[in-house]
Structure 1
Amino acid sequence: MHRRRFLTSMGLGLTGVAALGALSACDNNEDGDGAAGESTPSAPSGSSSPGRSGVIVVGAGISGLAAARYLAGKGKDVLLLEARNRIGGRIWTSEQWAGVPVDLGASWIHGTDKNPITDLANKAGARMVTTDSESATDYLANGHQADDAAEQAIQRWRKATAQALATNQDKNEDQKDTSVRSVVERALNWPTLSNDDKSLVSFALNDYEHEYAGSVNDMSALYFDSDKKINGKDVLFPGGYHQITDLLAKGLTVRTEHVVQQIDWDSGGVTVTTDKGAFQGDHVVVTLPLGVLQSGTVKFGPGLPADKQAAIGKLGMGVLNKCYLRFPKVFWADTDWLMCVPNLDKYGQWEQWINGNRAVGQPVLLGFNAADFGRTIEGWSDAQIVAGAMGTLKTIYGGNIPQPTDFQITRWASDPYARGSYSFNKVGSTPAMRDQLAARIGDRVHFAGEATQRDSFATVHGAYLSGIRAAEEIAG
């Protein structure tokens, strides 16, 4: 999932944490011979002979892989249980198009300076390509490219929106929380604005939805941006993000297609029950996405503490969906970003596109839809989604543009093993709730995942660092 460019230029955007010196754990077992079990990242599913493990890790996304890699490097016996038929979780590189891998989940390293994912990418030999926040072409609702006057108006309303939110955070001494939209509309005296200006304010609000994946009607105006910034460039992987997860998984024991149903624990250890059998261990690291925790599909034996249940209930799980379109030729502007200002009645629809040709040298466009509209179109057919995307492109580039030769579409909210894209701070939640979500239960049950990282939620590096934190709790 991507992070927005305009927010960082106003000091309100992407954040993270300093890298931990944990990469050394990946240096152990480099040839895949240090962990018991299968020598491939994903073992074939089937009947299981559970036995007992030192540590059971629930989920082979990057947080689970990070925890397992670290613990294996410390000589621990680790078993990963993964519901899907692949590793990676919300990192998912599709190989559907031969020679053109596309990332259906996470795409970027957001801030390469002192970022542990940068270190992993270098270790994996993964090529990185920068996307430039200033390389963008803006289009108006009528399809015309924004002229200087229109660009000035776009920037003016972006700054006004950002300032309204910053002022609310600075002056809100009584800490009464409300939504991002309500704060902006009140500060800008929404009823007095012309429809054109309302469209531009809405365009600015949609930036926040793409950044944080939550609806501005639900996003906390006090805490939506409570994460911390990592400096450096934003980079993509032309060869796919799987290069990072493959590196971490090398030599680990992973059982795919094992859907966890219940996690129990007592003074004697832990039991993780799946649809293919029960597994015993001394510790468990739970890396279930927030959306899965909210769904209640996984039961917890003695029950979760009240503060952890409150955090699960009050934090938000957002949606950011992708639609890749492959064309026979390039017909669009040669900039990294294509931005489209829709009419008010089409708020949030096909506003942001990335030019795949600049990254991978192929005629591919990637359209994003976030929050409410991103969730809505999950109920549409593929043909309806592609037609909606093409409607926007035809408005800009004309009705004679070629039809796509193929497409790839995500539906993250409908995915039973994700139930959303990444977490956000919802009205009524607080940053401290992420600490409560991360807190271990006794000495046996540990939690990781991007939603547990107070300073770097909704990022790959946050998910990775959460796995290291959980592993350190066990290894000491």
Structure 2
Amino acid sequence: MPSTHPHVVVLGGGIAGLTAARNLAAHGINVTLLEARNRLGGRIHTSHFHHGGHDGDQGCTSPSPSTAATTSRPVDLGASFIHGIVGNPLIDLAKEVPLAIARPNEASTRYLLDRSGGKSLDRDLAQRIDFFSHATTFQRLQRAAQHGHRTPLPQESIWSGLVDAKSYPDVWKGIDDAEKDCILSVASLWSGWTGARLSDVSLRWWGFEQEFPGEDVVVQPGYSHLVEWSADKIRQAGGRIVTQRRVEAVELLSDDRVRVTATDVSTASQPTVEYEATHVITALPLGVMQRTPPRFDPPLPPRRTEALQRLGMGLLNKIVLSYDRAWWLNADDGEADAWLFLLPSDFGSHDAATTHRTARQQAAMPSDEDEARTLIESGGMAVMDYSAVNGHPVLVAYAGPPVAQALEMVPPQWTVSTLHSRLVQSLVPPHRRAGADAIPDAPTSSTVTQWGRDEYSRGSYSFLRRASSPSDGEEEEGEGKGEGSSPLDMLECGKPLWQGRLGFCGEHTEPNCYASVHGALMEGERESKRIVNLLRLEEASINDAPGT
């Protein structure tokens, strides 16, 4: 039966859910958005650091009213970039919100030799490594994967494509073996881009997506302004937002009614609350849909659950260190480098055989706390200097797998202390550390994200997983994972069910722009437009019915 009084319930208050609810409310449709957290934004979360603490929800202190307003240093703990500015819908939206964008000088990168007492890579070598780590991993390997003489096998990974010079010879043209080892060591840090070790990401689909061109920019003062603006638009148009509601079940009651059952997690008794709707949009993260999804009745079909399990859910964690002063600035000119690449401890080993072997291997995932500590003490990290972005003396370390997983296995304060010590020993010459007063003070506030342990995220963003091969030893756990994933899995995950009454959206349902804020935004827009058009068709059928 057509819906005479449409009511849409949106599950999830990340950018996909907020966008869907905002567009529906703007069309005058009765909409209710349910979010399990006590805040909106999901994997968008701007935290404000200050002297002595920050307002994050990761176990650190809250600011006092007297300091928060005067010394606030906003940092996005989740999404922070707009990737590709030409034609990107976020650029137009940034003017309306408004959001400022910062363009850190990507060419301003310092490669730090671990615990070297202020030594960096030779400038000419650093420039070549910087250029070729991008060119080989992205431009050359993507071109080989999508336009080469053969289609990569399902079990081939980005890493195997980089290491296998015989199968993809054009990737390493003009690069000698010694430089290749250095470039591979730096390229392994691109796990922060993919959200997975390069050995886990499918080569067959590397570069398949049609992303927006142009530079990457940093959102200022933080993505929370977009979240707040979206929520205000929903409420102003008559929509309803309810936080601290964990969705337990979604049930089709009849041809035109759906029931959503949620737990009110704001109270100790955690009572259940029911919402009836004509349509439901599920905008929950891929990690939640894989591991702790609501109960659907009727159940999701096998092709949907198998597609969900085939997709990879990546992990990127950040270590934020906020200081009284930017003690790391170049002593010669005081200029800030946008990026400080803290190289792995074994980078440039005097043992050529060891360097050759370790450069061509991807580090294993940590299996216990001791292995996790070793990875954090020795692994490479890309560190963004926020003094080059907004003038604040803040360092943000980006940790992709396997260091990202290690960060969730050790106490956060140990991680902060260890990274601070590594940075001091890597940036400050011994003679400048002679006196106690010359050693840079510890951060005044800090945090370590743990998106994988977050029950409402279960990871950071999606990736396309390679298929398993016999050489892997044992099959990966989970339904469908051994097959690898493809862009078709993302399309499948976004298809509506129950004659269109149950919809889905999120960054993981956009095969061209997955793992991005604009991908989630575009999917929220797509799904809301689908509901609007469906309701128009239903309204037309009512008006055309006999006797009307």
**What is the TM-score with the length of structure 1 in the denominator?**
0.83
C-alpha distance in 1 between matches for 2:152 and 2:342: 38
Distance 1:411 1:188, change over 3 A: farther
C-alpha distance in 1 between matches for 2:337 and 2:441: 20
- Superposed, 1:392-431 pairs within 5 Å as 392-398=422-428, 400-427=439-466, 428-431=484-487
Distance 1:172 1:118, change over 3 A: same
C-alpha distance in 2 between matches for 1:315 and 1:200: 28
Residue aligning to 1:264:
251
C-alpha distance in 2 between matches for 1:429 and 1:440: 20
The Cα shift of 1:57 comes to: 0.1
Between 115-124 and 195-204, the greater mean CA deviation after superposition: 195-204
The Cα shift of 1:77 comes to: 0.2
Between 153-162 and 394-403, the greater mean CA deviation after superposition: 153-162
C-alpha distance in 2 between matches for 1:257 and 1:453: 27
Q: Does 1:203 align with 2:205?
A: no
Q: Does 1:253 align with 2:270?
A: no
Between 348-357 and 57-66, the greater mean CA deviation after superposition: 348-357
Distance 1:89 1:158, change over 3 A: closer
Distance 1:158 1:93, change over 3 A: closer
Residue deviations 1:178-233 (CA, integer Å, cap 9, x gap):
222222222279xxx989853531311222x1111112121111113332231333
- Assess if the C-alpha contact under 8 Å between 1:158 and 1:201 holds in 2: no
SS at match of 1:271: strand
Distance 1:126 1:183, change over 3 A: closer
C-alpha distance in 2 between matches for 1:247 and 1:159: 38
Aligned mate of 2:296, from 300, 321, 325: 300
Distance 1:158 1:201, change over 3 A: farther
- Assess if the C-alpha contact under 8 Å between 1:284 and 1:446 holds in 2: yes
The Cα shift of 1:92 comes to: 0.7
The Cα shift of 1:389 comes to: 1.4
Q: Does 1:213 align with 2:195?
A: yes
- Assess if the C-alpha contact under 8 Å between 1:53 and 1:280 holds in 2: no
- Superposed, 1:327-476 pairs within 5 Å as 327-333=323-329, 334-344=336-346, 349-398=379-428, 400-427=439-466, 428-441=484-497, 442-476=499-533
What residue ranges of structure 1 are gaps of 5+ in the alignment? 1-51
SS at match of 2:200: coil
The Cα shift of 1:350 comes to: 4.2
Between 113-122 and 315-324, the greater mean CA deviation after superposition: 113-122
Residue aligning to 1:49:
none
- Assess if the C-alpha contact under 8 Å between 2:49 and 2:445 holds in 1: no
Residue aligning to 1:39:
none
Matched pairs, number = 422
C-alpha distance in 2 between matches for 1:336 and 1:188: 36
Distance 1:124 1:161, change over 3 A: closer
Aligned mate of 2:108, from 135, 144, 147: 135
Residue deviations 1:430-457 (CA, integer Å, cap 9, x gap):
1111100111112100000000001100
C-alpha distance in 2 between matches for 1:409 and 1:199: 28
- Assess if the C-alpha contact under 8 Å between 1:199 and 1:342 holds in 2: no
The Cα shift of 1:271 comes to: 1.1
- Assess if the C-alpha contact under 8 Å between 1:213 and 1:318 holds in 2: yes
C-alpha distance in 2 between matches for 1:431 and 1:222: 11
Residue aligning to 2:278:
282
- Assess if the C-alpha contact under 8 Å between 1:324 and 1:365 holds in 2: yes
SS at match of 1:217: helix
C-alpha distance in 2 between matches for 1:176 and 1:237: 36
The Cα shift of 1:115 comes to: 1.8
SS at match of 1:285: strand
The Cα shift of 1:53 comes to: 6.4
C-alpha distance in 1 between matches for 2:79 and 2:127: 32
Residue deviations 1:378-431 (CA, integer Å, cap 9, x gap):
111112211231233123213523211110221000000000011111111011
C-alpha distance in 2 between matches for 1:161 and 1:125: 35
- Assess if the C-alpha contact under 8 Å between 2:345 and 2:380 holds in 1: no
The Cα shift of 1:327 comes to: 1.2
Residue deviations 1:6-35 (CA, integer Å, cap 9, x gap):
xxxxxxxxxxxxxxxxxxxxxxxxxxxxxx
Distance 1:125 1:383, change over 3 A: same
Q: Does 1:57 align with 2:10?
A: yes
Residue aligning to 1:22:
none
SS at match of 1:284: strand
SS at match of 1:293: helix
Q: Percent identity?
A: 31
Between 265-274 and 438-447, the greater mean CA deviation after superposition: 265-274
SS at match of 2:300: coil
Distance 1:341 1:194, change over 3 A: farther
SS at match of 1:121: helix
- Assess if the C-alpha contact under 8 Å between 2:142 and 2:206 holds in 1: no
C-alpha distance in 2 between matches for 1:108 and 1:101: 14
Distance 1:390 1:53, change over 3 A: farther
Counterpart AA for 2:248: Q
Distance 1:401 1:171, change over 3 A: farther
C-alpha distance in 2 between matches for 1:78 and 1:157: 47
Counterpart AA for 1:241: Y
Aligned-pair RMSD on alpha carbons?
2.4
Distance 1:148 1:101, change over 3 A: closer
C-alpha distance in 1 between matches for 2:448 and 2:6: 38
What residue ranges of structure 2 are gaps of 5+ in the alignment? 51-67, 168-175, 264-271, 330-335, 347-357, 359-374, 434-438, 467-483, 534-548
The Cα shift of 1:168 comes to: 4.3
The Cα shift of 1:89 comes to: 0.7
Structure of higher CA gyration radius: 2
The Cα shift of 1:156 comes to: 4.4
C-alpha distance in 1 between matches for 2:404 and 2:312: 15
C-alpha distance in 2 between matches for 1:73 and 1:473: 14
C-alpha distance in 2 between matches for 1:220 and 1:258: 36
C-alpha distance in 2 between matches for 1:158 and 1:457: 20
Residue aligning to 2:161:
183
Distance 1:408 1:336, change over 3 A: same
C-alpha distance in 2 between matches for 1:310 and 1:225: 24
C-alpha distance in 2 between matches for 1:156 and 1:234: 18
Q: Does 1:167 align with 2:141?
A: no
The Cα shift of 1:349 comes to: 2.6
Distance 1:367 1:86, change over 3 A: same
